[in-house]
Amino acid sequence: MNAILELSTRDGTRPVMAQRYLPAVRDEGDKRLIVLAGEPLGAVRRIPREDEHRGNIHVGGRVERAPVDARDREICRRMAERLAADGLYFVGLDVIGGLLTEVNVTSPTGVQEIDRLDGVCLEAHVLDFVEARAATLDRRAAAH
């Protein structure tokens, strides 16, 4: 471990971001919450392959239907103000064992999988939000 830390931080001169391994990922995978304006639109569970710790779809994780539960709503509620302050309206939050592990801000994946598994159309909500937001910005610009 010391050798890995020394190498990855260049002997403590370069910051790195690390995450504690959460064993719950092996049994229950991670949950990707698709969040719009602080509210969860849907979720999907990503289960890692036997030979992999990551449940990411692009590395072969399989997806399962997952409900948005009370803990997910609490995480979204607690994150909403900060996300809005940072101008982050459409994000993917990753949760393992009820703990927020990652905030994905560039084209969060999972929408297609949730659509397919839940028979919904999340992108319609996203487009409605963008159109409403654009109209608000247009009205503000016209007022000035």
> pLDDT (tens digit, 9 = 90+) per residue, 54-104?
888 888 889 999 999 999 999 999 999 999 999 999 999 999 999 999 999
Mean per-residue pLDDT of the chain: 92
- CA gap 37, 41 in Å, rounded: 10
pLDDT at 93: 97
What type of residue sits at position 123? E
> pLDDT (tens digit, 9 = 90+) per residue, 55-69?
888 888 899 999 999
pLDDT at 21: 87
pLDDT at 141: 75
Q: Which domains does the chain have, with CATH numbers?
A: 24-143 (3.30.470.20)
- CA gap 40, 18 in Å, rounded: 26
